[in-house]
A and B are shown apart, each in its own frame.
Chain A
Amino acid sequence: DGGITQSPKYLFRKEGQNVTLSCEQNLNHDAMYWYRQDPGQGLRLIYYSQIVNDFQKGDIAEGYSVSREKKESFPLTVTSAQKNPTAFYLCASSDRGGSPLHFGNGTRLTVT
């Protein structure tokens, strides 16, 4: 079955540590996205990538970094510079910009 795999489902880190969230897709989609979800805040765009080796900042990119070395993979690193990293992180992909998004089942990150 084609889809998006995010791992792990739950992640715990100490404050001051960087942490990388994995996102892999086998849908052969060109575009991939990272969203952050907080209670009552909806989904906010962190970074997105339309093609390999290229990515753009979204609305809340500060404290995050990404890479897109392969079409299938779009890992997100939450750095120690992110002031409130505890959240539910969703990865998505689409055939191209503007087409429907397919989401993974998310990673819940808790930083203490």
Chain B
Amino acid sequence: GENVEQHPSTLSVQEGDSAVIKCTYSDSASNYFPWYKQELGKGPQLIIDIRSNVGEKKDQRIAVTLNKTAKHFSLHITETQPEDSAVYFCAASMGSGYSTLTFGKGTMLLVSP
């Protein structure tokens, strides 16, 4: 089955800096890669996703890049703000039919004012 590795487990940045979280996956058949943000005591929320037919996707301060050859994808957050502090999860799946998401173990992002 699919295996998703996520690094780092903890990331501390100053407000205004950029943050990068990286994930690798094992199944070359995976073609759907979402990122979720989880605030304390709440369920994860989808913040951005990418499918394998594109290499990069942006949404304001958030971007995701995908390298299918190397089987890795990354989340980039620019101009970080204290409200970006949360746990971020990457995931991978075949993106269709009865496929299910396999999640990484999460990255706790701390943005200091």
A residues apposed to B, CB below 8 Å? 4, 6, 33, 35, 40-45, 48, 50, 56, 58-59, 90, 92, 97-98, 100-106
The B55-106 residues at the A interface (CB cut-off 8 A) are 89, 93-106
B residues apposed to A, CB below 8 Å? 1, 6, 9, 32, 34, 36, 41-46, 49, 89, 93-106
**In the docked arrangement, what's the CA distance between A101 and B91, Å?**
11
**Interface residue from A97, A103, A104 paired with B100 (Cβ < 8 Å):** A97
Quick check: B32 and A101 within 8 Å, CB to CB? no
**Interface residue from B96, B97, B101 paired with A101 (Cβ < 8 Å):** B101
**Interface residue from A48, A98, A105 paired with B43 (Cβ < 8 Å):** A105
Residue of A nearest to B44 (CB): A103
Quick check: B44 and A90 within 8 Å, CB to CB? yes
Quick check: B105 and A40 within 8 Å, CB to CB? yes
Given A42-B106, A98-B93, A98-B94, A105:B101 Cβ within 8 A = no
Residue of A nearest to B42 (CB): A105
**In the docked arrangement, what's the CA distance between A102 and B42, Å?**
12
Query: Which residues in B have their C-beta under 8 angstroms from that of A90?
Result: 43-44
Query: Which residues in B have their C-beta under 8 angstroms from that of A56?
Result: 98
Given A90-B43, A105-B41, A97:B103 Cβ within 8 A = no
Given A42-B89, A42-B104, A97:B43 Cβ within 8 A = no
Quick check: A106 and B42 within 8 Å, CB to CB? yes
The distance from the CB of B14 to the nearest CB of chain A, in whole angstroms, is: 25
Given A98-B32, A100-B49, A43:B97 Cβ within 8 A = no
Quick check: B34 and A100 within 8 Å, CB to CB? yes
**In the docked arrangement, what's the CA distance between A44 and B104, Å?**
9
Contacts A97-B96, A100-B49, A101-B46 supplied; 17 other A-B pairs, CB < 8 Å: A33-B100, A40-B106, A42-B6, A42-B106, A43-B44, A48-B100, A58-B100, A97-B97, A97-B100, A98-B32, A98-B93, A98-B95, A100-B34, A103-B36, A104-B43, A106-B41, A106-B43
